[in-house]
Copies of this chain bind each other. A is one copy, B any other.
Amino acid sequence: MNYNVSEKFKSLKPSAIREIFKSLGTPGAISFAAGNPNPDSFPVKEMQEIANEIFENEPVTALQYGITEGYTPLRDLVKARLKRVYGVGADRDDLIIVTGGQQGIELTCKVMCNEGDVVVCENPSFIGALNAFRSLGAKLVGVPLNDDGIDVEKLEEALKNNPKAKLLYTIPTFQNPAGITTSLEVRKKVLDLAKKYDIIILEDNPYGDLRFTGEDVPTYKSMDTEGRVVYCGSFSKVLSAGMRIGFVCADKDLVSKIVVAKQVEDVHTNVLFQMICAKYIEKYDLEAHIREIRKMYKHKAELMIKALEENMPKTVSFTRPEGGIFLWCSLPEGASLDEFVKKAGDRLVFVVPGTAFSADPDEPCRSFRLNYSMPSDEEIVKGIKILADIAKEL
């Protein structure tokens, strides 16, 4: 039969990246397309040991229904770490554990936005978030990124032109896909604009722990004196992506609404992995573990940047991230991104075309995203040479 699905889902397509991800099985393929953490970053032995302890000593807590807010010891540990590392968590704030960072983003929009409300976002931005906003009937308004973060003048223009703007969605640190970090100066201006136009800032910080060079920039949430910032984070990039553990820190009035929204989506996040996270933080040195991941990604990022510098024609530009797992490459004017991506795929090198990250998919785009956390050193060197060869032919 023909299904009369909801208006919002009639046109919504699966994420281009996750579709690419599914077809990466070809032997010899080099993927710069994923957003995955390197499996060497999973503390397998430690997690196994902790899981065993839980199955021995507290199996019922792990396997029975839990409360929607999350496993209390983990909430307390995450609150303490956010405060210590990121200055996140005011007196009026609360924290809820969610099923991966993605759920935090989706729930925040669900709670804040009516259909037709506007979500302002960086352009390009994380496709998973953009599709979440679309799936809730929100209208996306993209604002271009400069090297120091969102273009503040164009942001004000967008806010002026869109009185129904409710949320600004931003990944200020090691942005996905662009690898850019918003400067302190820009962050301050953005906070002022948020206040002036009375919008909520949804600060998505999945990569913040992965800085391998330069100095930390204060989070929006740490500068927020009004409860205007909702902060989303995740353990996906530092412990395990498959376990689906994220968190949202916000004013307690908003968190209480997010709790209701989560309750009707999946009741609560799987308890065993919440317990594993808590006990990992208690028993082991999470900060030392993160330092090891940073070393690995620093090496890979530097290797990729060196390969790009040595091989790419000078007409191709790229960002030089100070952390995270992505960089952003742009082809020269006149070049066809579709042709480039297709030729790369024919030679089994996979990148994600920038169009996937656009608030407006019909907008022309000459950029693509490169991931360096997953490929091996050999793959990085070989794959970038192939991409450079193709770029030279354009």
A residues neighboring B (CB under 8 Å):
1, 3-9, 12-15, 18, 21-22, 34-37, 39, 42, 44, 47-48, 51-52, 55-56, 59-68, 98-100, 102-103, 106, 110-115, 117, 128, 131-132, 134-135, 137, 166, 200, 226-228, 236, 240-244, 251, 253-254, 256-257, 259-261, 263-273
Contacts and interface: CB of A to CB of B under 8 A. Distances in A.
A192 to B, nearest CB: 15
B12 A39 contact: no
A50 to B, nearest CB: 10
Nearest to A22: B67
B64 A39 contact: yes
Contacts of A112: 3-6
A387 B159 CA distance: 59
Contacts of A15: 263
Given A1-B226, A52-B48, A67 B7 contact: no
A22 B263 CA distance: 13
A271 B63 CA distance: 15
A272 to B, nearest CB: 7
A268 B47 CA distance: 20
B135 A110 contact: yes
Contacts of A35: 65
Contact of A59 (B37, B44, B62): B44
A64 B60 CA distance: 26
Given A6-B114, A44-B55, A242-B271, A263 B18 contact: yes
A240 to B, nearest CB: 4
B13 A42 contact: no
A191 B374 CA distance: 50
25 contacts: A1-B228, A3-B254, A5-B112, A6-B113, A9-B261, A12-B257, A14-B68, A18-B263, A21-B67, A39-B59, A39-B60, A44-B55, A48-B55, A63-B243, A64-B242, A98-B266, A99-B99, A99-B266, A102-B264, A102-B266, A115-B137, A131-B263, A134-B264, A244-B267, A272-B273
B63 A47 contact: yes
Contact of A266 (B13, B56, B110, B244): B244
B65 A261 contact: no
A240 B63 contact: yes
A6 B164 CA distance: 12
Contact of A131 (B52, B98, B264): B264
A243 B243 CA distance: 11
